[in-house]
Chain A
């Protein structure tokens, strides 16, 4: 069972490396690229969270849940 899952993951990891051309690069390059991917992902996430979300929120007139929770918290305090 566990072996099956590991095999499955390994196989698709291999396919993923293949379509991104990372299959044929050296190990440190693979790591570098994955770090870059991760950093990019985080930046996007942060951008979406901090800028895009409040921007669309203000356009559409939706208050983010976190804001209202904060307000509630402030009131209670």
Chain B
């Protein structure tokens, strides 16, 4: 199989890296610990002990795992470095009330400096709403006069209609008009370039015919952040080998006959990659959220969820039956307000008794907004109010941070401060599936309770192999620095692309280090026009409109990749510049960088 965990030298190196990360974090905390009054410590611990969470005591994790040794090593080191008493991992909870205030304000300042959500110009806002109403009115007229065959439910006497009226109205009479810009079939690997299968419509989007031709396009739409979606190279070869050896499907669940050494290796490698004790992998990213959240929380629990969270999270929360409070996107003040209110007032449906658990649920990189979670501040809040933190790193894992370790790595946070680390393998790893990582107790709990583990078929072996190989490459376990190069290339591409777009004067959302770059075009027609025009210029992008975004914020989303070269990006930027002049997309009123931007 060739799945051994690499020789010990490399392991050592990896540990060293983990040490470095948590060392700096601990140093930061060490400073505040010195001037911490001692009385508070016991009360904090008591408070924590009273919580009957699924993960009530961090220290109790079984010390059999290599990772735990690893973390004790860290803390010892930190003790010698700072001369303060953080010799056991319990110090985590002791420090909780004392957030490094200065540092946090620095993080906040950095966040505001690097993140931009420019206001929409008033006239554009008005036009967008007017246009939307116009489309609706036209839609109703259209529906009144012409009901096409596909829109009628026939031979169903006595039945009520099966399909929801508004949604079908919307997709028939608004979305259908620009339907050629979505669901475009492709016929190649979605690497740096992708081949679109051409099609035409003769009836305004009701039906399409293939023309038999193909268009090779620059791919600015796939989540192929590190460029691992490839039909050649080590990942593809090893996956092929695995497929020949083990077939394509396990045809069984993990708890029956679906666990192989490969799955176990992948789980331990994932845990090592993230610097936590243990991890569990699932065959589907969406299901990882939707099916694990219900096993972690139940009615009587409170979840504080960011308003821009992914559909899988929302579905999971609905399934769980927990009370969900939504806070404003990335707004720490709002989060703290909701948290404080609920800690103080408790569960009003249950006579004001305390909530069973409080869980804060955020994503690392928000896929529609291109913003990055304010992790240090959230960790401080979660410690202050003793809430659990669930971080969905679907878009950030691999794509963020100096070692590709996601938002945790980007902020240099201690992965143990996040109770539940979730992520998917569909993006940076060019594969499929998802993981949950955290303490050994959490993972053991999920192994017995998760529906996605017990009832869903286990991950396909070549898929697992693709993740294993790409993860090894990112970690440098293959003995090359390909992984490091890819991470650097992505970071450079991101910076360059975002800064060039800002210089052009289009409005982009989000954080300057996020590889998801939404460019605001506001109107439906403009989404359609941009996608169509870019396709004629051999660039494939994704448009996003209502209902995936608010009505007013139609956008084009570019996803950068380490596979793109500067020349490709330059070509794309040139074309984007040209069409944004022609279609009037340069809404930004910010001052523009006058100098040329270096790659």
Residues of B near A15 (CB, < 8 A) are 583-584
Query: Besides A15-B583, A21-B132, 14 other CB < 8 A contacts?
Result: A15-B584, A18-B523, A18-B584, A19-B523, A19-B525, A21-B131, A21-B134, A21-B524, A22-B134, A23-B525, A24-B528, A29-B141, A32-B138, A32-B141
Residues of A near B127 (CB, < 8 A) are 19-20
CA distance A37 to B18 in the complex (A): 66
CA distance A19 to B135 in the complex (A): 12
- Out of B204, B525, B582, name the residue touching A21 (CB < 8 Å): B525
A70 on interface, CB distance cutoff 8 Å = no
Residues of A near B134 (CB, < 8 A) are 20-22, 33
- Whether A18 contacts B138 by the Cβ 8 Å rule is no
B529 on interface, CB distance cutoff 8 Å = yes
Task: List CB contacts (< 8 Å) of B121-166 with chain A.
Answer: 127, 130-132, 134-135, 138, 141-142
- Whether A24 contacts B130 by the Cβ 8 Å rule is no
Provide a sorted-by-A list of 27 A–B residue pairs whose CB atoms are within 8 angstroms. Answer: A15-B583, A17-B525, A18-B523, A18-B525, A18-B526, A18-B529, A18-B583, A18-B584, A19-B127, A20-B130, A21-B131, A21-B132, A21-B524, A22-B134, A22-B525, A23-B525, A23-B529, A24-B178, A24-B528, A25-B138, A25-B177, A26-B142, A29-B138, A29-B141, A29-B142, A32-B141, A33-B134
Residues of B near A24 (CB, < 8 A) are 177-178, 524-525, 528
- Whether A21 contacts B523 by the Cβ 8 Å rule is yes
Residues of A near B524 (CB, < 8 A) are 21, 24
In the A-B complex, the 8 residue pairs with the smallest Cβ-Cβ separation, listed nearest first, are A21-B131, A23-B525, A24-B177, A18-B525, A24-B525, A29-B138, A21-B525, A19-B127
Residues of A near B177 (CB, < 8 A) are 24-26
Separation in Å of the B38 CB from the closest CB of chain A?
A: 65
CA distance A22 to B526 in the complex (A): 11
Residues of B near A19 (CB, < 8 A) are 127, 131, 523, 525, 584
A23, closest chain B residue (CB): B525
Residues of B near A26 (CB, < 8 A) are 142, 177, 204
Which DSSP category, helix, strand, loop or mixed, fits chain B's interface?
A: helix
Separation in Å of the A3 CB from the closest CB of chain B?
A: 18
Q: A20-B127, A32-B141 are in contact. Are A25 and B135 (CB under 8 A)?
A: yes
Separation in Å of the B407 CB from the closest CB of chain A?
A: 37
CA distance A64 to B138 in the complex (A): 40
Residues of B near A20 (CB, < 8 A) are 127, 130-131, 134
Separation in Å of the B585 CB from the closest CB of chain A?
A: 10
Task: List CB contacts (< 8 Å) of A4-32 with chain B.
Answer: 11, 15, 17-26, 29, 32
Residues of B near A29 (CB, < 8 A) are 138, 141-142
Residues of B near A25 (CB, < 8 A) are 135, 138, 177
- Whether A21 contacts B135 by the Cβ 8 Å rule is yes
A-side residues, CB < 8 A to B, are 11, 15, 17-26, 29, 32-33
Residues of A near B526 (CB, < 8 A) are 18
A21, closest chain B residue (CB): B131
CA distance A26 to B526 in the complex (A): 16
Residues of B near A33 (CB, < 8 A) are 134, 138
A27, closest chain B residue (CB): B204
Task: List CB contacts (< 8 Å) of B372-404 with chain A.
Answer: none
CA distance A23 to B529 in the complex (A): 9
Separation in Å of the A37 CB from the closest CB of chain B?
A: 10
CA distance A22 to B583 in the complex (A): 14
Separation in Å of the B177 CB from the closest CB of chain A?
A: 4
Task: List CB contacts (< 8 Å) of B482-534 with chain A.
Answer: 523-526, 528-529
CA distance A29 to B176 in the complex (A): 15
CA distance A12 to B304 in the complex (A): 48
Residues of A near B138 (CB, < 8 A) are 25, 29, 32-33
Separation in Å of the B530 CB from the closest CB of chain A?
A: 10
Q: Mark B556-599, 1 if CB is under 8 A from A, else 0.
A: 00000000000000000000000000111000000000000000
CA distance A21 to B529 in the complex (A): 11
CA distance A11 to B529 in the complex (A): 14
B134, closest chain A residue (CB): A21
Residue of A11, A17, A24 with most chain B CB atoms under a 10 A cut-off: A24
Separation in Å of the B114 CB from the closest CB of chain A?
A: 32
CA distance A24 to B135 in the complex (A): 9
CA distance A60 to B551 in the complex (A): 44
Separation in Å of the A57 CB from the closest CB of chain B?
A: 32
Residues of B near A22 (CB, < 8 A) are 134, 525
Separation in Å of the A28 CB from the closest CB of chain B?
A: 9
Residues of A near B142 (CB, < 8 A) are 26, 29
B178, closest chain A residue (CB): A24
CA distance A56 to B566 in the complex (A): 65
Q: Mark B45-65, 1 if CB is under 8 A from A, else 0.
A: 000000000000000000000
CA distance A49 to B132 in the complex (A): 31
Residues of A near B130 (CB, < 8 A) are 20
Residues of A near B529 (CB, < 8 A) are 18, 23
